[in-house]
Structure 1
Amino acid sequence: MTAKLVLITGASSGIGAATARRYGATGAHVLLLARNEERLDRVAEAVRKAGGTAASYPIDLADAAAVAEASARIAREAGIPDILINNAGAGRWLPIVDTSAEDARAMIEVPYLAAFNLTRAFLPKMLERRSGAIACITSPGSFIAWPNAAAYISARHALAGFTEALRSEAKGKGLSVTLVVLGMVESPYWEHNPGSRERAPKANPLLAPMLTPEDAAEAIFAGIEARKRTVVKPAVFRALFLLNALAPQLVARGLRRATPKSSA
């Protein structure tokens, strides 16, 4: 991994910051994208301490024009990433009736459109080079649904669909495309999206075991290195996804029963 160029979105805290440090430990040059410049600079310093190098690019990934501008700047200053990790995610778990149109749009803008726009900016050169890896980080909401999180789940389905379509277009062209599905991770996500943790189904496997950001980072790193199509952590979700494919009504009923009732 030495001297690899790795771009990570949502890199100012949680999963993104831990993934940046993990790649820093390999000697990679890590490009950090998120809104908060001060936090990005702290992560950049942690990457350097881990043995890598880093550059910060403060950006609102919901702004398509800003993504285009930052992508062009990165290409000029650092080059085309060897590894692109679409990790940025946002969105409160809310009942449909409590979700505004603005809320729903924001959840589509990040993660889905942020991943689409950033990938589209670098994809032509990656295809021309015929090498590289792209990963999209999502949650079990890409494959199953539970009450009181409709806009969140819809955005995760969109991200999973984008990843599958990207893989189809990149087939045989030297790129690996990985979808990383992570269970609940103990990170600042819950602070930024109040009420979401309380709306999680109160039953396994959605609540246990809780992952650390470092657990998530290792799963992302290992999956990309192995050029896997899909990474699922914890692995128990694979059984749930299979059961959902075979008996969707059974899984839906169980998730409904396990989800706290909405106060709406």
Structure 2
Amino acid sequence: MKIAGKTVVITGASSGLGAALAQGMWRAGAARLILLGRHEARLNQVVRALQADGADAHAVLADLSYEDDVHAVVDWLRAHAGPVDILVNNAGAGAWNFLEDSTFAEIREAMAVPYLAAAWLSSALLPAMRQRQHGHIVNISSVASTLVWPGATAYIAACRAMRGLSDALAADLRGSGVHLTHYESGPIETPYWSTHPQSRARVPGIARLLVRPLSADEAADAIIRGVEGQRRHVVAPVMMAAVLRLHGLVPWAVRGLMVRTGFRP
């Protein structure tokens, strides 16, 4: 789908990849940007920068792990934004931990954002997209949708849920005029790593050796190319795509390397 002239909703837009996607979508010609996030000051800063550049950008404060906030967002969109052309489910949360070191609240949050947030918001916006036979949903997760390593149990489970949602929803949408892109990323240099330093230490050694982290702008560019090319599946960087292809051929070998070079307490 061409982004020019479209209304785009981006979740998790307060910083990092979400903020970079907002800038990239604006450069690609988006007519209106609706940015959702939980951190009011940072979200407003992103929106003000876009507005200063001439963008029609709006901030909507919401915690999408709560159903009431999702309903409030949908009501706001209907009242102020009109039809949504592109929904980018980028919101995510949670540190990498062994399951027994995670609280019940942390396990719930890991699944609520991204998975429940993406499922709830997509469910609410899909009827209008289907009626118009027009729309594009982007689900953003990581290569944990395919790969596993020690010390990130709830995070990996949530990424697997995002992959299941994406695969099943793409099947549902076949022939509807509504498209879906699932983005699996390798490491991206965002504020996540500074707020969750233990997660960086748990990146498997083989991944640190082979895969260069992307900047947020590089990841955003890969996603935007995927949307404009109506690609069903996008993996970046190129080396990570090669790792996933190898996993498809010899999953036991790649899994073994990820586990053996992973974090041990």
| TM range, smaller chain | over 0.9
How far residue 195 of structure 1 moved from its aligned partner, in angstroms, is 0.7
How far residue 252 of structure 1 moved from its aligned partner, in angstroms, is 1.7
SS in structure 2 of the partner of residue 147 of structure 1: coil
Q: How does 1:1-264 map to 2 (within 5 A)?
A: 1-25=3-27, 26-204=29-207, 208-262=211-265
Unaligned runs of 5+ in 2: none
How far residue 182 of structure 1 moved from its aligned partner, in angstroms, is 1.1
Using the size of structure 2 for normalisation, the TM-score is 0.94
Give the Cα–Cα distance (whole angstroms) in 1 for the partners of residues 92 and 210 of structure 2.
19
SS in structure 2 of the partner of residue 195 of structure 1: helix
Aligned-residue sequence identity (percent) comes to 39
Count the aligned residue pairs: 262
One-letter code of the match for 1:236? Answer: M
One-letter code of the match for 1:116? Answer: A
Give the Cα–Cα distance (whole angstroms) in 2 for the partners of residues 206 and 145 of structure 1.
17
Q: Deviations over 1:24-81 (max 9, x none)?
A: 2224310000011211111112222344210100001111111112112111111121
Unaligned runs of 5+ in 1: none
Give the Cα–Cα distance (whole angstroms) in 2 for the partners of residues 84 and 207 of structure 1.
32
RMSD: 1.5
Contact 2:206–2:257 (CA<8 Å) still a contact in 1?
no
| Structure 1 residues 141 and 39, CA gap change in structure 2 (3 angstroms) | same
Give the Cα–Cα distance (whole angstroms) in 1 for the partners of residues 179 and 132 of structure 2.
13
Give the Cα–Cα distance (whole angstroms) in 2 for the partners of residues 173 and 205 of structure 1.
41
| Structure 1 residues 206 and 4, CA gap change in structure 2 (3 angstroms) | farther
Task: Name the stretch that deviates more: 202-211 or 80-89.
Answer: 202-211
SS in structure 1 of the partner of residue 198 of structure 2: coil
Contact 1:199–1:260 (CA<8 Å) still a contact in 2?
yes
Runs of 4+ residues over 6 Å off in structure 1: none
Contact 1:205–1:237 (CA<8 Å) still a contact in 2?
no
One-letter code of the match for 1:128? Answer: Q
